[in-house]
Amino acid sequence: MLTDELRRKLIEAALTVRSHSYAPYSNYAVGAALLTESERVYTGVNIENAAYPTSMCAERVAVFKAVSEGERQFRAIAVATANAGTPCGSCRQVLSEFGLEILVIVINEKGEVIQESSVSELLPGAFGPQDLGIKSSDQS
């Protein structure tokens, strides 16, 4: 369960960090704020590149920052875009690696919550460790 205070903190962080986006090609700025079980917040922005495939989404930047700091358990992620776009398939897959019940809060540029759902709702039939014959407790 996410308290109103934590929800507000997450939404504000996603909106604030969105201004740091590097999106000179699409002009589609995205900010993400990821809440861990330890209640730390990791932010990320989309970072584009002239060689399009090397661009990186805000959601994955936030996850990778958290993982690089030793975090592995996530509660929620807020994603802020101008029009409340949802995470792409790659971001959904990366989030699923850390829990299908992670809450995804999608907000527009005004900070209005447009959608709330779990990763499992956004990515039905997710490919995971079980598909490789690995139990989740076997992961490090």
The residue assigned the tokens 């994603």 is: 79
d(CA 140, CA 134): 11
Per annotation, catalytic residue among 59, 97, 101, 109: 59
59 tagged catalytic: yes
Instruction: Report the candidate in 63, 71, 130, 68 with the shortest Cα–Cα distance to residue 92.
Output: 63
CA 73/CA 122 separation, integer angstroms: 19
Residues 80/54, Cβ–Cβ less than 8 Å: no
Active-site residues, by number, are: 59
